[in-house]
């Protein structure tokens, strides 16, 4: 069953989607605004914005460090919403965070107040890495009420009946986790990706692959292999981290992020071009 959602699926309609991730507020509020806006200049179709949580159990060292920097610079859920309102971007924004922050927000416990506020500031949906389908009903209901999408992660270990159950909850796009483990840029593309895309082939929802994608060439291979989009986090966060380490001016870091985004987006488009003749031949 396809759920009511926002505009996320449309972002995949005209070719492959490039979906970058940055932690909001990393390394500070003002720089982070410039960095996220640079992603759009580089060709982002959807942006995943991390709302930092103190226990990011699905993240590798790169994003863990980004989360620590953002928290130390004072990022909170309320500041996150202000950040989203202040951002000058036109592409859909997805909030990526852990369930406890959604659960605690507002005067009543449960995810509804957070989702309501997210809708007010114009967010399009959520990725919640520690919320499997089994526990997702309250968030699913709130998302349906306010017209937001709930993106689920499908892991290489998600198979059979479990895969089918998860896919019933997905809206917007499905986040295909390229390999087991935690987030982090890798030097090669996992073979697990191919098998995951094969398992998902019959489901009519955009498939965006994430975890470990680092270069335009990776993006090309993944889209050529059947993905509808690529999600890239750690390779971009690395640029922010280098900027912090070398005390690089904000504009220069933003320019590098835009440049890296163009490389990844171009790679995805090359991959898509390899698929089109094949599609026409069918």
Partner 1 sequence: MTQRYADGKFGDYGGQYVPEVLMPAIEELTDAYERYVLENEDGFMDEFRARLRDFGGRPTPTQYAENLSERYDREVYLKREDLLHGGAHKLNNALGQVLLAKYMGKERIVAETGAGQHGTATAMAAAHLGMPCEIYMGERDINRQRPNVFRMRLNGSEITPVTTGRGTLKEAISETMRDWATNVEDTHYVIGSIVGPHPFPSMVRDFHSVISTETRRQLREQTGGLPDAVLACAGGGSNTMGMFTDFVDDDGVELYAVEAGGSSLEVDEEAGVAPNSASLSTGHEGVLHGARTKILQDADGQVMESHSVSSGLDYAGVGPELAHLVDEGRVHAVNVDDDAALEAFHRLSQLEGVIPALETAHAFGYLEENHDELGETIVLNVSGRGDKDLEAAIEETEARDIDIAPSMAEFSGGI
Q: Which residues bind partner 1 (CB under 8 A)?
A: 53-60, 64, 68, 71, 76-78, 98-101, 103-105, 109, 129-132, 134-135, 152-159, 162, 166, 177, 180-182
* Whether residue 198 lies in the annotated active site: no
State the greatest distance between any 2 C-alpha atoms of the chain, in Å, as a whole number: 56
Catalytic residue from among 9, 40, 48, 220: 48
Rounded-to-integer distance, Cα 65 and Cα 238, Å: 10
The least CB distance from residue 73 to partner 1, in Å, is 13
The residue among 133 and 255 lying less far from partner 1, judged by its C-beta, is: 133
* Whether residue 48 lies in the annotated active site: yes
The residue among 65 and 124 lying less far from partner 1, judged by its C-beta, is: 65
The least CB distance from residue 167 to partner 1, in Å, is 12
Catalytic residue from among 59, 116, 161, 280: 59
Rounded-to-integer distance, Cα 171 and Cα 9, Å: 8
The residue among 182 and 222 lying less far from partner 1, judged by its C-beta, is: 182
The least CB distance from residue 192 to partner 1, in Å, is 10
The residue among 21 and 272 lying less far from partner 1, judged by its C-beta, is: 21
The residue among 162 and 270 lying less far from partner 1, judged by its C-beta, is: 162
The least CB distance from residue 193 to partner 1, in Å, is 14
The least CB distance from residue 166 to partner 1, in Å, is 7
CB 74 within 8 A of CB 29: yes
Residues with active-site annotation: 48, 59
């Amino acid at each position: 069953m396809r759920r009511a959602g926002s505009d996320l699926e449309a972002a995949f309609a005209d070719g492959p989607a490039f979906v970058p991730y940055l932690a909001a507020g990393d390394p500070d509020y003002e720089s982070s605004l410039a960095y996220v806006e640079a992603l759009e200049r580089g060709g982002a179709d959807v942006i995943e914005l991390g709302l930092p949580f103190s226990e990011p159990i699905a993240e590798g060292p790169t994003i863990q460090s980004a989360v620590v920097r953002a928290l130390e610079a004072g990022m909170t859920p309320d500041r996150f919403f202000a950040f989203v309102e202040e951002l000058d971007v036109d592409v859909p924004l997805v909030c990526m965070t852990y369930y406890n922050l959604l659960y605690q927000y507002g005067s009543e416990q449960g995810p509804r107040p957070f989702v309501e506020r997210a809708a007010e500031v114009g967010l399009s949906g959520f990725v919640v890495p520690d919320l499997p389908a089994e526990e997702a009903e309250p968030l699913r209901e709130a998302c349906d009420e306010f017209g937001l999408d709930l993106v689920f992660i499908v892991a290489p270990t998600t198979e059979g009946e479990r895969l089918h159950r998860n896919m019933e909850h997905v809206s917007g796009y499905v986040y295909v986790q390229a390999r087991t483990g935690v987030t982090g840029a890798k030097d090669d593309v996992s073979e697990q990706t191919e098998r995951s895309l094969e398992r998902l082939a019959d489901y009519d929802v955009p498939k965006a692959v994430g975890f470990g994608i680092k270069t335009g060439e990776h993006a090309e291979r993944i889209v050529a292999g059947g993905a509808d989009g690529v999600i890239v986090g750690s390779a971009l966060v690395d640029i922010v981290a280098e900027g912090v380490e070398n005390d690089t001016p904000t504009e220069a870091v933003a320019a590098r992020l835009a440049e890296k985004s163009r490389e990844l987006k171009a790679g995805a488009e090359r991959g898509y071009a390899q698929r089109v003749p094949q599609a026409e031949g069918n």
